[in-house]
Amino acid sequence: MKKRIITAFFLIVILGGIILVGEGDYAFLFSGVCVLLATVAAYEFSIRLNRYNKEKHWFHYIPILFTFLFTLGSIIFFEIALYQFIFIFLFFLTIGYLMLYILLKDFNKEDLAMAFLTILYSSIGFIALAFLRQIDLLLILFLLTITIMTDTFAYFLGIKYGAHKLAPKISPKKSIEGALSGLIFGALSGFLFAYFFEVFDYSVVVIIIISIAISIIAQSGDLIASKFKREVGIKDYSNIFPGHGGVLDRFDSALFAAVFLMMIIMVF
């Protein structure tokens, strides 16, 4: 527990500081951290998870490079030609991997599927985080308020009052009571933050719906990450953050929630 608290303190100080100053001439700081985290996440997912106790070949490391390039390119082309870049990148990525599938004897359909899943799963959430930070600091703070409060109340109230298992085959410690507590307090915290700091121009009802949706998506992202680990029998994706696991262990709740919020901002 002591190690966990110390690590959490440094994460809050370092990442919090980067989030706060990562705009204007220093926008590259937060964007750069997002690229770095996505790359590490790709390593965790491609090697630590998908190749756990399995033979590793050189082509199993390629998704890490492509995750780096895809995340970096998407952030660079945000305001220039994001959709064109994504289409071109995915087109040539598909062609390239299909060629590997044809030419390499050891490269099978599972490797092909896992390569695409690694790149997309590891990158889109961090791309969304960088996008939100470039738009407005308050969007990131709104998102983090919901995800952190959802995780906190789901954990503590779930331990105290949890009597009905939420998904025992995926995460035995999670309960329905904990999930509902996280949803209520996470969404409420997000709504209050958005309302008092005027994060959106939407109506109160719309802000409440967005807050509820983000809390639900955050918990779903946590369950997805847990199932991936459960299938291969590992506790954490890595040990990069002592006491907290890896990048995907710490950001699993925020990644899909960030993508959802990014789509809301882009569409409305």
Res 53: pLDDT = 67
- Cβ proximity of 254 and 218 under 8 Å: yes
Res 118: pLDDT = 95
**What is the 8-class DSSP label of residue 58?**
G
Which residue ranges in the chain fall short of pLDDT 70?
A: 1-4, 51-53
Classified as helix, coil or strand, 244 is: coil
d(CA 2, CA 228): 28
- Cβ proximity of 152 and 145 under 8 Å: no
Res 122: pLDDT = 96
Burial of 231 (0-12, 13-18, 19+ CB in 10 A): exposed
Residue type, 71: T
Report the predicted TM-score, pTM, of the whole model to 2 decimal places.
0.92
d(CA 135, CA 141): 12
Q: What angle do the packed helices 82-103 and 109-135 form, to 10 degrees?
A: 160
Torsion angle defined by CA atoms of residues 213, 216, 217 and 220, in that order, rounded to the nearest 10 degrees: -160
Res 9: pLDDT = 77
d(CA 142, CA 192): 9
Mean pLDDT of the chain: 90
